[in-house]
């Protein structure tokens, strides 16, 4: 998954007999951070972290004190934890010719970028979800969406990926990118969405 919110929570030893918990809210690739509410176990005032590198540290009295960190400090103090983090989820969309499981010419050209992302991961986990536009019956579109996902899975297997590394699903016309009336052809809805973890 994309790292929209990365929370680094590590316990550090402040002394031989005292244990402190530190929380640092990290930004995603765009510099944005979500929100984390840090609450003491017993009473005390909760702290809301909602800015990049905002931090909270436990106190000996059981509460939390608010603070800030920096990118450099986080990299220095938590390098091992950061290095162990998996890469963010990569998302791709490929489009199909109407009524078929054949990729459009433009989408065929995108295959190498997807394969490069997959091969860059030591143990890739891939999810392929097929979709259709609203032309045809719901049942036919369910079958076509699944066929599109399976067709892409077969391409991956032909390139050496293990069957158990690829999950497929078909959503038919249920999750359009572009809302349309029934029986409307919409090329952007004829797609597979690929998540590479």
Which pTM does this prediction carry?
0.67
Query: What pLDDT is stored for residue 7 in this prediction?
Result: 44
SS3 of the chain: the string is: CCCCCEEEEEEEECCCCCEEEEEEEECCCCCCCCCEEECCCCCCCCEEECCCCEEEEECCCCCEEEEECCHHHHHHHCHHHHHHCCCCCEEEEEEECCCCCCECHHHHHCHHHHHHHHHCCCCCCEEEEECCCCCCCHHHHHHHHHHHHHHHHHHHHHCCCCHHHEEEEECCCCCCCCCCCCCCCCHHHCEEEEEEC
Query: What pLDDT is stored for residue 19 in this prediction?
Result: 59
Query: What pLDDT is stored for residue 54 in this prediction?
Result: 94
pLDDT tens by residue, the chain, 197 residues:
334 344 444 433 333 335 578 899 988 878 888 899 988 877 778 899 999 999 998 888 778 889 999 999 999 988 988 888 888 899 999 999 999 999 999 999 999 999 999 999 989 999 999 999 999 999 999 999 999 999 999 999 999 999 999 999 999 999 999 999 999 999 999 999 999 99
- 143/149 Cα distance (integer angstroms): 10
- Its CATH architecture, for the domain 90-196, is 2-Layer Sandwich (3.30)
Q: CATH 3.30.1330.60 spans which residues of the chain? A: 90-196
CB atoms near residue 118 (< 10 Å) = 21
């Amino acid at each position: 998954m994309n790292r929209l919110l990365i929370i680094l929570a590590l316990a550090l030893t402040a002394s031989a007999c005292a244990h402190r918990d530190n929380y640092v809210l990290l930004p995603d690739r765009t510099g944005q951070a979500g929100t984390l509410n840090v609450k003491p176990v017993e009473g005390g005032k909760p702290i809301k972290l909602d800015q990049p590198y905002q931090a909270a540290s436990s106190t000996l009295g059981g509460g939390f004190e608010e603070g800030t960190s920096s990118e450099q400090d986080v990299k220095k103090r938590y390098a091992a934890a950061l290095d162990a983090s998996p890469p963010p989820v990569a998302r791709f969309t490929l489009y199909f010719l109407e009524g078929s499981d054949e990729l459009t010419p433009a989408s065929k050209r995108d295959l190498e970028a997807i394969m490069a992302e997959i091969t860059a991961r030591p143990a890739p986990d891939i999810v392929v979800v097929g979709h259709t536009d609203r032309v045809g019956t719901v049942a036919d579109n369910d079958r076509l969406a699944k066929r599109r996902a399976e067709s892409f899975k077969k391409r991956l297997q032909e390139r050496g990926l293990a069957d158990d590394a690829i999950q497929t699903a078909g959503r038919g016309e249920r999750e359009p990118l572009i809302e349309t009336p029934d029986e409307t052809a919409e090329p952007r809805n004829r797609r597979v969405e690929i998540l590479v973890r």
